[in-house]
Homo-oligomer: A and B are copies of this chain.
Amino acid sequence: MTLDAVAREAGVSLATASRALNGTTRVRDDLRGRVRAAADLLGYIPNAHAQALASAEGNRTVGLICHDVGDPYFAGIASGVMRAAAEQDLLVMLASTFREPAREIAYVSMLRAQRARAILLIGSGFQDRAWERAMDAELEPYVRAGGRVAVVSRHRSMRVDTVQPENRAGAAALAASLVALGHRDFAVLSGPPELTTVADRLTGFREGLAAAGITLRRVVRGAFTREGGHAAARQLLAAGDARPTCVFAVTDVMAVGALAALREAGVRVPEDMSLAGFDDIPVVREVSPPLTTVALPLTEMGEQVIALALRTPSRAGRSRVLRIEGNVVLRGSTGAPPRS
């Protein structure tokens, strides 16, 4: 079914049929009626590709690139993006990179080919000069051609709009709260150091401790997953030296894994050891004890990043940074340190 067939059925020209259906220009009521009826009758569905090609408007799709929709952190943000997109009749093209930097760049390229109206990059970038250059080379022509880019949790040299959780400040505030509980001896379960989010949270936590004159004793590195947190916690416990009284996992996903590892090792939380995470993904309220964390409004962040991308660019073309404060939420997984 093409528009041409609809026009013929309605006895009008192609141009009139197009205008009647899109409502851009005035069309005589009876003609519009005939066209609509013909379209209904034939079950006409416009070809979005032809529309995108012919019109200046471009198409109604946005691209969303994240590390993994299966991860509750990204699922939360994606959910917010979906909600906002639905309200604006936008279709979302979703890409999961599974944390492969090269794949992320390839997806941007595919999204450019699709002439996506906007590209949303969700989740920490990689601290890697070559990768950054390649990414910029991909993004710059896209933006120059009118494409919109907005990111979550990413430091950009480029002028793109950003939703930036205050990772550093949040981690520092968490450290302060933990110190206030009486802890002096900390370990961090950390993720891949090339992720900027990891670096920021680690730095912030260190700063928070330093403000109280405390030095972070130990950092164990793990994968950015539940299993990574589990393994890191086991490694921490296996080490011969005295155990810290409090452990900070840089993401809730890791913290959940760590909690399981502690339980398996017979370490009571928080009696023997306190545990905290970051993000406030839904699951942390369901575990026992519920996890102390730094809460980020994930769904909202998703809504905000797409709003940022779609807003009419400021005359100056300056990029905007929306800072998202992280709120420390003390729950059952943290308490006073055990008396030694």
A interface residues with partner B (beta carbon < 8 Å): 1, 43, 45-50, 52-53, 59, 61, 64, 68-70, 72, 75-76, 78-79, 82-83, 86, 89, 91-96, 98, 103, 109-115, 137, 141, 226, 256, 259-260, 282-283, 285-288, 299
Contact = CB atoms under 8 A, between A and B. Distances in A.
A107 to B, nearest CB: 8
A283 B98 CA distance: 20
Contacts of A226: 282
Contacts of A70: 75-76, 78-79, 82, 299
A86 B96 contact: yes
A83 to B, nearest CB: 7
Q: Top 4 nearest A-B pairs by Cβ distance?
A: A70-B79, A288-B288, A49-B49, A82-B96
Identical subunits present: 2
The dominant DSSP class at the A interface is: helix
B82 A110 contact: no
A190 B96 CA distance: 33
A83 B98 contact: yes
A231 to B, nearest CB: 16
A48 to B, nearest CB: 4
19 contacts: A43-B137, A45-B109, A47-B53, A47-B115, A48-B49, A48-B114, A49-B53, A50-B53, A69-B69, A69-B75, A70-B78, A72-B72, A75-B75, A82-B94, A83-B98, A86-B96, A93-B93, A259-B286, A288-B288
Contacts of A112: 45
